[in-house]
Amino acid sequence: MAQRRTAWTRLTTPFANIPAGTATTLALAMWVVVIGGWAFLSYGRVVPNMFLPTPGTVLETTYRMSLDGSLFYHTLTSAKVVILGFIVSSLIAVPLGLWMGTYRAVQAPLEPLVNFIRYLPVTSFVPLFILWIGIGIEQRIAVIFFGTFFQQLVMISDCARSVSRDLVNASYTLGTKRSEAVWHVIFPAALPSILDTLRVTMGWAWTYLVVAELVAASSGLGYISLKAMRGFQVDVIFMAIAAIGLLGLITDTAFRILRARVAPWAP
C-alpha cells in the first residue's frame, strides 16, 4: 500500500519528476486515446466517412501516393517554401533583432512600426503579394516571411535586451570595446534563447503554409488539401495535415539537436 501511495504522491506533486517509463506510457496512452477515438468515430459510423475517413483509408491513400511519388513531390515543394521563407526571415531578423535589443537608437524607430505590422493578419497581404510579386514560389515564400519575420524581430530583440548588464560591464573591464560588445558578448550570451526563438517561430512558419498555398499554387501539401476539398477526398486532407505535423516535428527536433550542439553550455 505504501508503494502505491508514494507513486500517486509523486504524480500529483507540483513540478515533481516522474519515472521515464511512466512518462513514455502516458505519452503513448495519449496517442492511443486520440487514434482510438478516431477509429471509433469513423469505423463505428458515428460520423459519416464522407466527412471523417477511417485510419485505414488514410494509410491506404498515403501508401498509394507514396508509391507514385506524388506525396514526396508535394512535401518537397512545401518544405522548400517554408524553409526558404524561414531562412530569409531569420537571416535578417537575427542581426537586426540583436541591434534592436542592443541599441536604443535602433529600437526607438523600429519598435512602433514592427509592433503595428506584426498584428496585421498575413492573409490580408496575400492579394498585395500577388499583385507585387506574382504567383510564383516567391509569393508563397513572401507569405511565410511576412508571417514569421516581425515576430522573430521582436522576440530576438528581447533576447538581446535580457543579457545581463554586468556581463557586458565585465567584458568592458577586460578590454572589450563598445563596438565589439554586440558580437563578443551580447550575441553569444543570447544565442541559446535566440535558437529557442527560431525553433518556436519555425513552428509558426509551418502554420502559414496552407495560407501561402491557398492561392495560385500548383503543388504542395496545402495545394493538394484544397484540391481534395473540392473532390471530397477527406482522406487526402488528413494525410496532408499529418504530413505537415510530422515535418514540423522533424524540424523541431532538428533545432533541439542544433541547440545542444551549438550551445552545449546552456541548460
Q: How far is the CB of 259 from another protein (least distance, A)?
A: 13
Work out whether 203 is an interface residue with another protein (CB under 8 A): no
Indicate whether 264 belongs to the interface with another protein (CB under 8 A).
yes
Q: Are the C-beta atoms of 231 and 50 separated by less than 8 Å?
A: no
Phi, psi of 136 (to 5 degrees): -80, -170
We find the least distance from the C-beta atom of residue 14 to another protein, in angstroms, to be 25
Smallest distance, another protein to C-beta of residue 146, A: 33
Cβ at position 127, least distance to another protein in Å: 45
Contact predicate 82/144, CB 8 Å:
yes
Count of residues touching another protein (by CB under 8 A): 21
DSSP per residue over 21-43, as a string? HHHHHHHHHHHHHHHHHHHHHHH
Q: Taking CB under 8 A as the criterion, which residues in 135-174 touch another protein?
A: 164, 166-167, 169-174
Under a CB-based contact definition with an 8 Å cutoff, are residues 199 and 259 in contact?
yes
Interaction of residue 119 with another protein, rule CB under 8 A: no
Interface residue with another protein among 41, 80, 110, 176 (CB under 8 A) is 176
The reply to whether 175 sits near another protein by the rule CB under 8 A is yes
Contacts with 125 (C-beta within 8 Å, 6 or more apart), sequence order: 143, 146
Residue 43: all three cell numbers together: 469505423
Task: Give the footprint of another protein on this chain (CB under 8 A).
Answer: 164, 166-167, 169-176, 180, 185, 188-189, 191, 263-267
